[in-house]
Amino acid sequence: MAVYTHLGAEEMAALLAEFDVGTLISAKGIAEGVSNSNWLLETTGPEGAGPTRYILTMYEFRIELADLPFFLSLLDHLAEKGCPVPRTIHDRDGRLFRMRGDKALALIEFLPGVSVSTPSPAQAHAVGAELARMHLASSDFGTVRANGMALAEWQRLAAACGEAGLSSIDPALAEMVARELPRLAAQWPTGLPSAVIHADLFPDNALVLGERISGLIDFYFACNDLCAYDLAITHLAWCFDEASGAFRPELSRAMIDGYETLRPLAPDERAAMPLLAQGAAMRFIMSRAYDWLNTPADALVTRRDPMQIARRMTFYQDNPGIFA
Amino acid sequence: MAVYTHLGAEEMAALLAEFDVGTLISAKGIAEGVSNSNWLLETTGPEGAGPTRYILTMYEFRIELADLPFFLSLLDHLAEKGCPVPRTIHDRDGRLFRMRGDKALALIEFLPGVSVSTPSPAQAHAVGAELARMHLASSDFGTVRANGMALAEWQRLAAACGEAGLSSIDPALAEMVARELPRLAAQWPTGLPSAVIHADLFPDNALVLGERISGLIDFYFACNDLCAYDLAITHLAWCFDEASGAFRPELSRAMIDGYETLRPLAPDERAAMPLLAQGAAMRFIMSRAYDWLNTPADALVTRRDPMQIARRMTFYQDNPGIFA
């Protein structure tokens, strides 16, 4: 959460003149985004539309410029097919983003909704359905992006942390990674259906209005990978109580049911779910462990505890039957 | 700029149920406020009103709870008299704020507008007029709050920084403070008209729509003090180019003209303006110098350069005629 760059009202107004969105009414820097700065803008709107809100994002670090067309045109593709994702606002020359020095600026739709901390079963059902809708909608998206957080990256992060580093977080973590990472690598499924997946659909990245999903946001991990793996990530992210860590079986059932209303899992996908869920856990264990060891305790970015996810990993190993 | 406390959507929804504002549509943590957390909310609005935006503030530090009723009821008083300030939304029991543990939460109106970095003369004229409107409107505000940043506090901060501390910023700063602070104390005017003043009306704290002032915000330094001193602070804050530091005479004239359209300065106020402007400069020199010496360079809060204001102090000493 941060706004890294000061963008004055005059500069913002000049930038907006490059888009058909009217003139600036309001601009608030918002505390979202780890690797970019974001503003919630209101303008007088395009001709005849009336006041309209947008999110302006300045890409500061991490996201390679080369990937921006993928992310931004994916939003257009998904929105076109009825997914609740923010459209990219193209500038008057049709461009998806504009440069300001060495930083890129993009304007996207503002979507209403709030992120919940303790989802209801109906919300889990709805997010399952929206995830399936996205997988169906993205299957004919022409552009391809490899998953930068796939198994090879978990292995690289494990090596970078080192056994000593992982042990310094928790000795049980070092043991778990040493034992499970090779097993996941050996057993990781191939040949399951793939599409462009969200790959990071935590409740933070879904907007909810009542029981309805009003938005899926933050597609900066989106990539081509297994559909069922995306469901496994979303399951990991939604189906445990944040405070107690307890598994919430009613959310698990609702999410999978919701997913299958639009895209029933094939038998081999269903059979792979326990392993994919463990893989999903390993992916977040490794990124959190690496960040834990490499982020100063007093940094702007909140460090997230890898052990929270390690406990979910153990749960998945002990309870493969939840996906049966 | 920060959001210090995580407030989940469920908790926010429960909080909003205590107000007649409808249900939550959207909530974004905003990157404003140094000593509090702020969210821009949209709700379905009070009965019949339609979607409405609010600012929710959680008071984290610094502001004494005892002062909150002053700040929040001042907003109501000024709004009632036509000043462009956000009204406080009272809860269903009529309270100005609610407690959450040891922190206070208040809901205020959202006002449109943007903060400009390089104001136009018309905007300076408008802010001068709004400042005068506020001084007239606040003259019958019943509650009183002493200025916590008055001359005695400059002296306390100067002692806390010490000559060595000030010299470490710039040797000229230590000399200026040693020479000018006693002179200001000896010559500080008494008996000029007073009211509740804003006391911190930098362009950041004004919202602008075109040439109109759509909002005055951030009243957390508001206090009873000299009206002309508030004009001097606003002059210091608006009438110099941020980048070059150059005095902008056209803004100075426009602001004073704007002020005098509603509240002409008395002869003794006008005569005191050069000294009051130097006092305004000393007030911000001392708070910035203290923060400079006591804020880690990598802290969340941006340190502001006291020397920027010291140069304005010198300008005011050399050019008393600008207020003639």
Q: Does A117 touch chain B (CB under 8 A)?
A: yes
CA distance B22 to chain A (A): 13
On chain A, the residues whose CB falls within 8 A of the CB of B29 are 1, 30-32
Chosen domain end from A52, A77, A109 = A109
Question: Do the domain assignments include residue B115?
Answer: no
Q: How far is B264 from chain A (nearest CA, A)?
A: 31
The reply to whether A19 and A102 lie within a common domain is: yes
Joined together, the tokens standing for residue A303 give 């460090």
Is there a single domain that holds both residue B66 and residue B153?
Answer: no
- pLDDT digit string (tens) for B111-165? 999 999 999 999 999 999 999 999 999 989 989 999 999 999 999 999 999 999 9
The dihedral built from the CA positions of residue A182, A155, A195 and A35, taken in this order, carries a sign that is positive
Q: Is A40 close to B42, i.e. CB distance below 8 A? A: no
A29:B3 CB<8 A: no
CA-nearest of B239, B275, B245, B283 to B257 is B239
Mutate to test the interface with A, among B32, B41, B114 (most CBs of A within 10 A): B114
Q: Could you tell me which residue, A64 or B310, shows the higher pLDDT?
A: B310
A112 touches chain B (CB under 8 A): yes
Please tell me if residue A276 touches chain B, with a CB cutoff of 8 Å.
no
A29 touching B (Cβ < 8 Å): yes
Q: Compute how many other C-beta atoms are within 10 angstroms of the C-beta atom of residue A321.
A: 7
Query: Which helix or strand (DSSP H or E) is residue A105 part of?
Result: strand A103-109
Do A85 and A126 reside in the same domain of the chain? no
Same domain, A88 and A161: no
User: Which residues in chain B touch residue A9, judged by CB atoms under 8 angstroms apart?
Assistant: 114-117, 208
For B4, phi then psi, to 5°, come to: -85, -30
Which residues of chain A are within 8 Å of residue B10 when distances are taken between CB atoms? 116-118
Q: Residue A298 pLDDT > 70, yes or no?
A: no
Residue A266 lies in a domain: yes
Hunting for tokens 């006391």 — which residue is that? B199
| Distance separating alpha carbons of residues B133 and B258, to the nearest angstrom | 10
Question: Is residue A262 pLDDT above 50, yes or no?
Answer: yes
Spatial CB neighbours of A253, under 8 Å, sequence gap ≥ 6: A121
Print pLDDT tens along chain B (324 aa): 355 567 888 889 999 999 999 999 999 999 876 678 899 999 999 988 999 999 999 987 666 788 999 999 999 999 999 999 999 999 999 999 998 888 899 999 999 999 999 999 999 999 999 999 999 999 899 899 999 999 999 999 999 999 999 999 999 999 999 999 999 999 999 999 999 999 999 999 999 999 999 999 999 999 999 999 999 999 999 999 998 999 999 999 999 999 999 999 999 999 999 999 999 999 999 999 999 999 776 655 567 899 999 999 999 999 999 998
Q: Considering only CB atoms, which chain B residues are within 8 Å of A33?
A: none
**Does residue A80 lie within any of the structural domains?**
yes
Candidates B6, B24, B28, partner chain A, best to mutate (most A CBs within 10 A): B28
> Distance, in angstroms, between A52 CA and closest chain B CA?
13
Q: Are residues B176 and B75 in the same domain?
A: no
Amino acid at B281: A
Q: Which domain holds residue A15?
A: 9-109
For the four alpha carbons of B34, B35, B37 and B41, in that order, the dihedral sign comes to negative
User: What interface predicted TM-score (ipTM) does this complex get?
Assistant: 0.82
* Rounded-to-integer distance, Cα B263 and Cα B257, Å: 10
Cross-chain Cβ contact A26/B114 below 8 Å: yes
On whether residue A3 sits in a domain, the answer given is no
Size of interface A-B (CB pairs under 8 A): 83
**Shared-domain flag, residues B301 and B182:** yes
Inside any domain, residue B2: no
Count of the separate structural domains present in chain B: 2
Would the pLDDT of A219 be above 50? yes
Could you tell me which chain B residue has the CA closest to the CA of A7?
A: B117
Q: Could you say which of B109, B135, B161 is where a domain stops?
A: B109
Mean pLDDT of A172-193: 97
Q: CB-based contact (8 Å) between A211 and chain B?
A: no
Burial class (CB in 10 A: 0-12, 13-18, 19+), A108: buried
Beta pairing class for A88-89 and A52-59:
unpaired
Nearest CB among B8, B32, B118 relative to A10 is that of B118
Query: What is the reported pLDDT for A65?
Result: 83
Domain assignment present for A1: no
User: In terms of C-beta density within 10 A (0-12 exposed, 13-18 middle, 19 or more buried), how is residue A80 classed?
Assistant: exposed
Tell me how far apart the alpha carbons of residues B252 and A74 are, in angstroms, rounded to a whole number: 51
First to last CA, chain A: 39
Among A140, A139, A157, CA closest to A148: A157
- Contact residues on chain B for A12, CB-CB shorter than 8 A: 114
Domain for residue B116, yes or no? no
The CATH number of residue B296's host domain is: 3.90.1200.10
Mean pLDDT for chain A overall = 93
SS3 of chain B? CCCCCCCCHHHHHHHHCCCCCCCEEEEEEECCCCCEEEEEEEECCCCCCCCEEEEEEEECCCCCHHHHHHHHHHHHHHHHCCCCCCCEECCCCCCCCEEECCEEEEEEECCCEECCCCCCHHHHHHHHHHHHHHHHHHCCCCCCCCCCCCHHHHHHHHHHHHHHHHHHHCHHHHHHHHHHHHHHHHHCCCCCCEEEECCCCCHHHEEEECCEEEEECCCCCCEEEEHHHHHHHHHHHHCECCCCCCECHHHHHHHHHHHHHHCCCCHHHHHHHHHHHHHHHHHHHHHHHHHHHHCCCCCCCCCCCHHHHHHHHHHHHHCHHHHC
Nearest to A4 by CA among A301, A207, A302: A301
Does residue A108 carry a pLDDT above 70?
yes
| B3 contact residues in A (CB cutoff 8 A) | 1, 31
Which of B52, B76, B109 is the endpoint of a domain?
B109
* Residue B281 near residue B310 (C-beta atoms within 8 A): yes
Q: Nearest residue on chain B to A33, judged by CA atoms? A: B29
Q: Quick one: how far is CA A125 from the chain centroid?
A: 18
Whether residues A208 and A243 share a domain: the answer is yes
Q: Are residues A131 and A92 in the same domain?
A: no
Q: Are the CB atoms for A64 and A49 separated by under 8 Å?
A: no
* Pairing outcome for strands B194-197 and B223-226: antiparallel
Judge: A117–B9 Cβ closer than 8 Å, yes or no.
yes
Beta bridge mates, B38: B30, B57
A21 and A147 in a common domain: no
- Which of chain B's residues have a Cβ under 8 Å away from the Cβ of A44? none
CB contact A241 to B (< 8 Å): no
DSSP A225: E
Phi, psi angles (nearest 5°) of residue A225? -165, -175
Integer Cα distance of A144 and A211 in angstroms? 32
CATH of the domain at A13: 3.30.200.20
CB A43 within 8 A of CB A24: yes
| Minimum mean pLDDT range among A102-106, A107-111, A282-286, B1-5 | B1-5
Nearest CA in chain B to A115: B9
Same domain, A158 and A274: yes
Q: Tell if the CB–CB gap between B28 and A31 is shorter than 8 Å.
A: yes
A114 lies in some domain = no
Residue A255 has pLDDT above 70, yes or no: yes
Contacts of B62 (CB under 8 A, 6+ apart): B35
Which residue from B8, B25, B30 is facing A28, i.e. has the nearest CB? B30
**How far is residue B155's CA from residue A144's CA, in Å, rounded to a whole number?**
64
Residues A276 and A144 in one domain: yes
Question: Which residue is closest to A296 within chain B, CA to CA?
Answer: B298
pLDDT at A297: 62
User: Is the same domain home to A234 and A102?
Assistant: no
